[in-house]
Amino acid sequence: MEVLTLPFSASKAKTYKHFSLNSTPVANELSVAKTEFYYIGNNPARIDKLIRIFESGYATESCANAKAMLIRLQNHAHGLPYIIICDSQLGYDAIREFRTFLNTQKELETVPFILDDQGMNKEMRLRFRKEKIVDEIVCLDDFSKERLLAKAKFLNKTKSNSTNGWQQNIETSSTSVFNERSFSKRLFDVLISSILLIVLSPVLLVVALLIKLESKGPVFYVAKRAGRGYKIFNFYKFRTMIVGADSKISDYSHLNQYNSTSTLGPKFYKIENDPRITKVGSFLRKSSLDELPQLINVLLGDMSLVGNRPLPLYEAATLTTDEWAKRFLAPAGITGLWQIKKRGNKDMSVEERINLDIYYANKYNFAYDLWIMANTPTALIQKTNA
């Protein structure tokens, strides 16, 4: 390891440090265009860990010093860091002010900003999350090299989607054909979802009552999902599982019908006859009534009636390579191509599902959506509750 002091301040030489590694490069599966970190804090152990993970990086002792450094880096040939990691011990006010600074810098605004949680109490952690001061709160001690690089790559995709090559297909596709199909699709979505929510309101009320009668907990299951362009939104379904089911997913990973021994690459989770599912939830899943609240997502514009399924963030984080990310070019939808072709098929591989998503993203149009919707009723009643 070579440590160089940047010549920005003679009197504060220890403030600015640049770390350059000559060790073995990162594995190809996790390779990114540039893996430079920028650490803000005064914890040598954290820096040691980061320089073992990333190709190179910078470290400053305070947010004030980081501002000056990052301004210089914007005009430096070496470019901006891949991710900024800040020590939570620097304090709420300093970190919030630094976030404001990042938001005023067009280029820096797209760099993921992570807070390293070291002894932070629950109230302060909730405050950071509520005010969205940072993009993610993590404990670096709990992250392996592979996991931290995957997290960095996922956050870069979500924050820099306006400049990524694959995403430019969304942002710059302004042809009349694209605009026409988008307008028709959105108009159809608003019209149909509004009608269905009104017509099905008695069914919604009955289902909500059944859920409350069977088990304690909320009627709706609300979770973060990644949709088109990795857009993250609140996803609504009727609750079909026991409260706290998400925290038990690792306990049943051996039952995953998409099971894979690889620690890298795309991953999906779906369990046949999941023991976390309630009796009412089993009926709702087999009849697909649990999906009805997603009409609210359609009305809000987060989803479409037809599209690729929005993914939990832990699944979306494994699909950041250009090859797999193409599936995010299509809108998120309630029903879609893989549902009518493969729904309930436990033999379907991860690759088959993604390839169906990519096929739809390349082909979809209003007429094709109508064909999928026409074939959806036969897929609504499934033999399993997966």
What pLDDT does residue 263 have?
47
Q: Cα separation of 82 and 4, whole Å?
A: 19
What pLDDT does residue 270 have?
63
pLDDT of 42 above 50: yes
Of the candidates 377, 364, 367, 306, the one whose C-alpha atom is nearest the C-alpha of residue 335 is: 306
**Range in 161-165, 257-261, 337-341, 377-381 with the lowest mean pLDDT:** 161-165
pLDDT of 342 above 80: no
Over range 172-189, report the average pLDDT: 63
Of the candidates 116, 6, 122, 135, the one whose C-alpha atom is nearest the C-alpha of residue 58 is: 6
Local confidence band at 77 (pLDDT 50, 70, 90 cut-offs): low
CA 130 to chain centroid? 17
Over range 32-58, report the average pLDDT: 82
CA 183 to chain centroid? 26
Domains and CATH numbers, the chain: 2-159 (3.40.50.2300), 177-380 (no CATH)
299 contacts: CB under 8 Å, gap ≥ 6: 189, 190, 193, 194, 197
User: In angstroms, what CA-CA distances link 219 with 248, 293, 294?
Assistant: 19, 11, 14
Instruction: Give the tokens for residue 257.
Output: 């019908």
pLDDT of 308 above 70: yes
Rg (CA), the chain: 23
pLDDT of 266 above 50: yes
Q: Cα separation of 61 and 374, whole Å?
A: 60
User: In angstroms, what CA-CA distances link 104 with 58, 99, 219, 269, 302?
Assistant: 21, 9, 41, 39, 27
What pLDDT does residue 26 have?
38
Q: Which of helix, strand or coil describes residue 83? A: strand
Higher per-residue confidence, 11 vs 122? 122
Are 281 and 267 a contacting pair, CB within 8 Å? no
pLDDT of 199 above 90: yes
What pLDDT does residue 168 have?
42
Local confidence band at 164 (pLDDT 50, 70, 90 cut-offs): very low
Over range 65-80, report the average pLDDT: 78
Over range 325-336, report the average pLDDT: 87
Q: Which of helix, strand or coil describes residue 165? A: coil
N-to-C CA span, the chain:
50
Local confidence band at 269 (pLDDT 50, 70, 90 cut-offs): low
pLDDT digits (tens, 9 = 90+) for 47-59: 888 888 887 888 8
What pLDDT does residue 353 have?
82
Q: Cα separation of 271 and 245, whole Å?
A: 13
